[in-house]
Amino acid sequence: MNCGHCTASIEKAIVTIDPHATVTCDLTARSVEVDSALDESALKAAIHDAGYGSERLS
């Protein structure tokens, strides 16, 4: 995740599978915080499908 386009892509991928999710991206820390009712595996899959890796979700 290097730019605003990257964060927008990740946000869109998550909101597509959970319209009620809250997604906060931090470019400096290269991290994404997600508040969602979906399980971690679904969120990781959405991020991966958008073309990004995910090490852990908290």
Tens of pLDDT, residues 1-16: 778 888 999 999 999 9
Tens of pLDDT, residues 15-50: 999 999 999 999 898 888 999 999 999 999 999 999
22/44 Cα distance (integer angstroms): 15
Specify the pTM.
0.82
